[in-house]
Amino acid sequence: MFTFVCTYYNMESPDATKMTTGVVGLGKGPLSLVSQLGNQIGSRFSYCLIPYGLNATSKLKFGDETTIKGKGVVSTPLIIKSSQPNFYYVNFEGISIGEKIVKMSKSETYGNMLIDSGTTHTMLEHSFYSKFVTLVKEVYGGEAVKNPPAPYDFCMSGEDTKNLLLKYTKDSSNDEDNNDNLPDFVFHFTGGAKIKLNSATQIFNLVDGYLCMLIHPANEDGFNVLGNVQQMGYQVEYDLGGGKVSFAPADCAKY
């Protein structure tokens, strides 16, 4: 027996239009799609999220079709907490920008990040976020905007803004000769898993002439969350039986 329902009004989507289609449950809850399919899919599923603006559709796969292999695949332990058994957690160790890195305290790395395809932007625990912003300003040399445009928490301006915007524009052009215009942002996870992000599409957005960051602070008592923008351009495989989540760079339009 399989239970499936439809939604007609989504309370969590204040700007919802007639195009809104609801939510597919991929968590560990007993009524989620993944839990109900269970052994039929070998407790495995994967998705590949396309960047905004592409005329293509993100993909969701189950069972044998989910397996990712080959060069570039990285894996990290998938953690299920008894206090929050419906969610997926990973061990987040820090973020590097070029050659510099800001690290989480080793005592705070066990299951310290929720990985969620339903959250748009990554959110970082408040104290770590402050250290990360300090590193961004150090690397880029920009000045923080005192009143950044909503909904952004951190935007840069100042004497170097013109150069920053020029670098951003070149990095957004998909010109292979401009791949090094902006330093690499890399998320680090237990097991040596590293996820390299595109500065121009997954870290920054141009807003009113400012360079605004697509990563936000969680609430004061909040938690680290890996959002879907920072997962775009990767095939993400959840192997619940094997207890791991894997990432591989992919052209999600062709996935």
pLDDT reading at 34 higher than 70:
yes
Residue 146: count other Cβ atoms within 10 Å of its Cβ.
Answer: 7
Label residue 26 by pLDDT band (50, 70, 90).
confident
Distance of CA 178 to the CA centre of its chain: 23
From the number of C-beta atoms within 10 Å of its C-beta (0-12, 13-18, 19+), residue 232 rates as buried
Q: CA-to-CA distance for 252 and 111, rounded, in angstroms?
A: 27
In this predicted structure, what is the pLDDT of residue 217?
96
Furthest CA-CA distance within the chain: 63
Domains of the chain in sequence order: 73-249 (2.40.70.10)
Label residue 111 by pLDDT band (50, 70, 90).
very high
Label residue 201 by pLDDT band (50, 70, 90).
confident
pLDDT reading at 86 higher than 80:
yes
Q: Which residue has the higher pLDDT, 111 or 106?
A: 111
pLDDT reading at 108 higher than 90:
no
Q: Which residue has the higher pLDDT, 171 or 40?
A: 40
Q: Which residue has the higher pLDDT, 177 or 6?
A: 6
In this predicted structure, what is the pLDDT of residue 179?
47
In this predicted structure, what is the pLDDT of residue 29?
82
pLDDT reading at 16 higher than 50:
no
Q: CA-to-CA distance for 23 and 239, rounded, in angstroms?
A: 21
Q: CA-to-CA distance for 210 and 204, rounded, in angstroms?
A: 10
Across all residues in the chain, what is the average pLDDT?
Answer: 85
Ranked by mean pLDDT, the top range of 28-42, 117-131, 218-232 is 117-131
Pairing assessment for the beta strands 44-48 and 59-62 based on DSSP bridges? antiparallel
pLDDT reading at 232 higher than 50:
yes
